[in-house]
Amino acid sequence: MPEHKTFVAADIGLHARAAAAFVRAVTDTGLPVTIRKHNRSPVDARSLLEVMTEDFEQGCVVFLEISPEALSEDETLPDAESALRALSAVLEGTASR
Element of type H or E holding 32? none
**What is the residue range of 55's domain?**
3-92
Predicted confidence (pLDDT) at residue 22 exceeds the cutoff of 90? yes
Q: Is residue 85 part of a domain?
A: yes
pLDDT for 47 beyond 80? yes
38 catalytic residue (yes or no): no
Residue among 4, 8, 13, 15 flagged as catalytic: 15
Residue 97 domain-assigned? no
Label residue 79 by pLDDT band (50, 70, 90).
confident
The band of 16, judged by pLDDT with boundaries at 50, 70 and 90, is confident
What's the CA gap between 59 and 78, in Å, rounded?
27
Number of structural domains found in the chain: 1
Identify the CATH number of the domain in which residue 36 sits. 3.30.1340.10
Comparing 84 with 69, the larger pLDDT belongs to 84
pLDDT given at position 53: 94
Full-model pTM: 0.88
56 found inside a domain: yes
